[in-house]
Chain A
Amino acid sequence: MAMRLEALLAGDAQGPLLKLDAPLSFWGGVDPASGRIIQVRHPQCGTSIAGTILCLPGTIGSSSSSAVLLELIRGGKAPAALVMGAPDAILLIGCLIAREMGWLAPPAFSLAAQHQHDLAEGCYTLAPDGAFHPLLP
C-alpha cells in the first residue's frame, strides 16, 4: 500500500509510526530532554516520541510547544517526522527556527485525523514529495 501525504515542510524520514490517541501539548506534555510523554492524563504517558513518525490528530495547550520541539531537535530526541491533522503553527515554528539555527529539523506533513487513525502500525518511510510507504521487514 502506498499513499501520498501533503508535504508542509518537505524532507525524508523513516521510523516507527506512533499515533497519538489524544491531543497533546508538547510543553507540559513531553520531556524536552528525553522525548518521553509526561502528561499523566494522556493515554500514552511514558511513551517516547523520539525517532517516530508522529501522527498528531490535534494539538492543544501551551504556546511554548515550539520551544520544547526545538530543544528535542537540538538534543536528537525529536520525532523523525510530524504528521498533522491540520497545520499547527506552534509546532511548525520549532522546525523553522531549527532550520535558521542550522539544526536538522524533522519534515512535516498533513493528513486528516480520520486517515491517521486508519494507518496500520509499523515502520514507514516518507519521501520529500510525501510518498508514504510501509518499510518491509
Chain B
Amino acid sequence: MTLALTPLETSWLAGESGEARALAMRVIAETARLMGAEKLVAVESAHIDGALYHGDSGTLFAEKLVALGAKVSIPATLNVGALDLFCGARTRHSPHEHDMAKRMMRAYETMGCAPSWTCAPYQAGHRPAFGTDVAWGESNAVAFCNSVLGARTNRYGDFLDICCAIAGRAPYYGLHIPENRHATFALDCSGLSPDLRDSDIFWPVIGTLFGQRAGNAIGVVIGLTGFATEDRLKAFGAAAASAGAVGLFHIIGATPEAPDLSSATGGKREIPTISVTPGMISSTLAGMSTTVLEAVDAVAIGSPHCSYEELVELERLIDGRKLVRPFYACTGRHAIKALEAAGRRRALEEAGVTLVADTCIVVAPILEATTGVLMTNSGKFAHYAPGNTGYAVRYGALSECVESAVAGRLVREARLWR
C-alpha cells in the first residue's frame, strides 16, 4: 500500500511552506506508511499531550520546533504540563527539571496552543462536532472524544499530536475510518444491581474490567442505559484507556454511535458477549488497590481533572469539616475559574483541600513523600500511582475518600457495594 499525497501536501513535505511544516509532514507521512494509511486527512482541531516533561528530550524537541518557526494551523488545546502555573501547587522537581518543564510549557504556548493545561479539554470548551476528524492525544481525552462526542481520532502519541496541529493533517487509518468503529465484543452489565450501576464508584471499576478485556479491540457495554452521566463516562473511559489500549467504546443508550446494539456492531447480530457478574466486579475492584493496610497517608482525586460539578460535590461531602490528611483535587483552570466565580474556592481550601491546576499527582512529584498509602476514587490514579509516585493505592468512592481524610484512617461504606 502506498501513501498518496495531494500536490499541496507534497509541497509542504518539500519545505515550500517552511522547515517546521516539512518536519511535521515527514513525521506524519512516515507514520502513515508504518500504519498502512493510503492518504492523509484534514483535521479540525488537536489536543496536545506532548508538553509534559519526562526529561530534557521533549523540551529540546519543542524548542527545535519553535526555532524553526512552527505555529499550529488549527485550534489546539494543551494537556497537562509538569508544573502548576495557575494555583502554584508545589512540586519537588530539581531546579534543572523545573526550568526545563517550564521551558517546555512555554514552547508549546509560543507555537500557538491554547493554555488550557487540562486532561479534560472536553469540559473546558473543546468539543469537536460529531463525525469530524481531529488529532487528539492523552488516552482518556481520546476515548472521550471518540466515544462520547463521536468525533474521530486515533490515539495520537506525544509529538505526533503537535505535528498534526502544525500541518493540519493526520494519517487516515484506524478510527478515522467509519467501518473501523464498530464493536467486536460486548460486556453485559444487566445482571448487576441497579444501585451499583447507579453509583459513581462503579464506573472506574467497569471501565478497568472493560479495558482489561478489550486490549485494543472496540467493545460495547449493555445494561447501563439510564445510568450514565458525563462525569461517569469520563471516569469509565480513563480507566478503560489505562487498563487497555482503548480509543473508542460504546455504551448502549449513552454514547452517540450506540443508540442500539445493531448500530454499535455495524449490523452484526452476534458478537462474543461477556455477562458481568458481581464476582468479576469484586475481583476487578480488588486489583485496583495494591494494599490491605488501613492507613491513609494522602488522598488524591481528579484523573481526569475534576469538573466544576465534581468539586461542588466534594465541598458538599466535606460539609464544613477539616481534613486531617493531605487532600489533592487535580483540575483545570476552567474549573478553578468557575469555582472562583461562584465564590466557592475558599471553602475548599479552608477545609484543607490542595487545589492542583495544570498538572496532577501522577505526572509531577507533588505528593510529599515517595512511600505511603494514597487513597483515590480514580481508576487512572489507581493504575498509575504506584509506579509513578511510590505510594500504594487504595481505591474507594469519593465519599470514602472524604471520610478517610477527615478520620485520618480508612473509612469504608459497605452499603456502596451491594
Contact = CB atoms under 8 A, between A and B. Distances in A.
Interface string B157-179: 11111000000000100000000
A46 to B, nearest CB: 11
Interface string A58-74: 11111111111011011
Nearest to A64: B158
Given A28-B388, A58-B245, A64-B158, A89 B35 contact: yes
Contact of A93 (B23, B31, B54): B31
Interface residues of B, number: 48
A78 to B, nearest CB: 11
Interface stretch (B57-65, B122-130, B251-259, B351-359): B57-65
A118 interface: no
Interface string A63-95: 111111011011100000000000101111110
A61 B57 CA distance: 21
Given A28-B387, A60-B243, A93 B57 contact: no
Nearest to A28: B384
A96 B61 contact: no
Contact of B137 (A63, A73, A94, A97): A63
Contact of A32 (B55, B243, B287): B55
Interface in B284-340: 287, 290
Interface of A: 8-9, 23, 25, 27-29, 32-33, 38-41, 58-68, 70-71, 73-75, 87, 89-94, 96-97, 100-101, 103
Nearest to B171: A89
Which of A68, A89, A92 is the most central at the interface, judged by chain B CB atoms within 10 Å of its CB? A89
- The secondary structure that dominates the B interface is helix
A29 B384 CA distance: 8
B215 interface: yes
Contacts of A87: 34-36
Nearest to B215: A58
A62 B211 CA distance: 13
Interface of B: 23, 26-27, 30-31, 34-36, 49-50, 52, 54-58, 60-61, 64, 137-139, 142, 154-161, 171, 211, 215-216, 241-245, 287, 290, 362, 383-384, 386-388
Contacts of A38: 387-388
Given A71-B58, A87-B36, A101-B57, 11 more contacts: A32-B55, A40-B290, A41-B290, A59-B245, A60-B211, A63-B139, A65-B157, A87-B35, A89-B35, A96-B30, A101-B60
A101 B52 CA distance: 18
Given A38-B387, A93-B31, A101-B57, A23 B215 contact: yes
A71 B61 CA distance: 11
A93 B215 contact: no
B362 to A, nearest CB: 7
Contact of A39 (B54, B57, B216, B387): B387
